[in-house]
Amino acid sequence: MQMNSTLPQMSSGISDPEWKLKKYLTKDALKSIEDGRGAAYFVPEGYTPLLVPMSQTCLFDSYGLAQTPQLSSYKLENCRVPGYIMKNIRKQNMPPRAPRPPNAFILYRKEKQSLLSETNPGMTEC
């Protein structure tokens, strides 16, 4: 498999630290992507991607973290769905509440609104 000359060569051993810091334009890697020898990902500024070789089974084998939690799956026919929806009984039994009294701003606006509309006849209400 021949690599594009504009892309860095990957060695089978430890990769060159300088290679990780280089930025490449999309047009430089386009041929490799079109040939199916790579992929393009958007990496937001401030983030550094972590690349793990496909040949490595798990990055954390030596730390004892290789075991992944087993995810359980359920068949749809085994899942129960509620047959009815319970109404909130408390609200039905409560007496209606008295309306809230107007606050200070509403009272002030009511008092001053007629005076403002008389002194400014062209002003529209907002």
Residue 26 lies in a domain: yes
Is the whole-model pTM more than 0.75?
no
Q: Establish if 73 belongs to a structural domain.
A: no
In a domain, 78, yes or no: no
**Phi/psi zone of residue 98: left (φ > 0), alpha (ψ -120 to 50 degrees), beta?**
beta
Q: Give residue 118's identity as a one-letter amino acid code.
A: E
What's the rounded mean pLDDT across residues 19-48? 70
- pLDDT tens-digit map of 42-86: 777 888 877 777 776 665 555 555 555 565 666 666 666 656 656
Residue 17 pLDDT more than 60? no
Q: Residue 95 domain-assigned?
A: no
Residue 30 belongs to domain spanning: 1-58
**What values do phi and psi take at 112, rounded to 5?**
-95, -15
Does some domain include residue 102?
A: no
- Domains: count for the chain: 1
